[in-house]
Structure 1
Amino acid sequence: MIERREVTHAVAAALAAGSGKPVGRGAIPPGGEPPYYLLVAVSTTLSGPPLADENPDMSVVYQVTAVTGPAPSTPGSYAVAEQAEWMADKARTVLLGRDPNTGQWLHPITVTGATVYGRHLDTEPGGSSDPSDAIIDNVQRFRFDLTPA
């Protein structure tokens, strides 16, 4: 059976490497200064061949929140919607982008014992874009479909 914890680590590693921004898995990343991403698993579905009923395949939906805000170490800094939108665009590029010549994923998501065969933008619930909120975010949900390797 595919371990969701392994998938979470792989998605977080790909997003951090591809974006150059820290990724917190369910919590603010070490350091805690924006900009950063928050990654939270919101649902998991198991499926498989109806006769074997081993549920070997897995689909996981992750919420990726791009967070921008004032940097505590920089007096007078503030959150800007432009940065949150850039980070949301970057997350989509990292998690969904393909090489137009080969069709291969631009950023591999490597899970021990499994193959990621599908990646989708599941929903984009929104976020906060009011500068008076101090922190501006953009929320997207991505679905990853896996099968045992």
Structure 2
Amino acid sequence: MIERRLVTAGLKALLADLTGRPVGVRTVPLDAAGKPVPPPYTLLYPLDHIVDDATLADRHTTAMSEYQATFVSGPLPGIPDSRGGDEQAQWLADRGRKVIARPADGSPGYLHPLTIPGVNCWRREAIEAGGTSEANDAIITSVIRFRLYLEQGV
């Protein structure tokens, strides 16, 4: 059976690498001292995780996992009265969307590896899900939902 926590850890690490910013799972990411980091950052929400392939001989060696990544902009550090903006939120989302980037030379697979021990992600999808704005908090977000198709034993 494909463990959801391993899939989450792999996607979290990939998003942090692609954006160069911290990623929190269901909560604001924390720094080394355990304090919340200021935006920009990404919030990763696990959604569906389906391990049944609907066959009589299902051994639960495949799974489909869905996640919502919320790319959060914020005030610029050290600049009083600055606000997070659409440009910053879209920049983060553009970086995060590289999860589904393919090699430019047309070779098979994905440009950026998704590392999940003992699991291969053979298909990835990204669906734009809009965004939100919180003018009072000076935060604007962009949202992408990722769907990962996984198989065990690779």
TM-score if structure 2 supplies the norm length?
A: 0.86
Q: Of the candidates 141, 144, 147, which is equivalent to residue 140 of structure 1?
A: 144
Q: How do residues 50-129 of structure 1 correspond to structure 2 at under 5 angstroms?
A: 50-71=55-76, 74-93=79-98, 95-101=99-105, 102-121=107-126, 123-129=127-133
Matched position secondary structure for 1:51: coil
Give the root-mean-square deviation of aligned CA atoms. 1.8
Q: Deviations over 1:24-59 (max 9, x none)?
A: 111101142111000111111123371312222100
1:100 partner letter: A
Cross-structure match for 2:15:
15
State the identity %. Answer: 40
1:134 CA displacement: 1.3
Return structure 1 stretches of 4+ with deviation > 3 angstroms. Answer: 71-74, 129-133
Count residues with an aligned counterpart.
147
TM-score if structure 1 supplies the norm length?
A: 0.89
Q: Deviations over 1:81-117 (max 9, x none)?
A: 1110111111111x10111212331210111121111
Mean CA deviation greater in 9-18 or 50-59: 50-59
Cα contact 1:49–1:55 (8 A) shared by 2: no
Matched position secondary structure for 2:10: helix
Matched position secondary structure for 1:10: helix
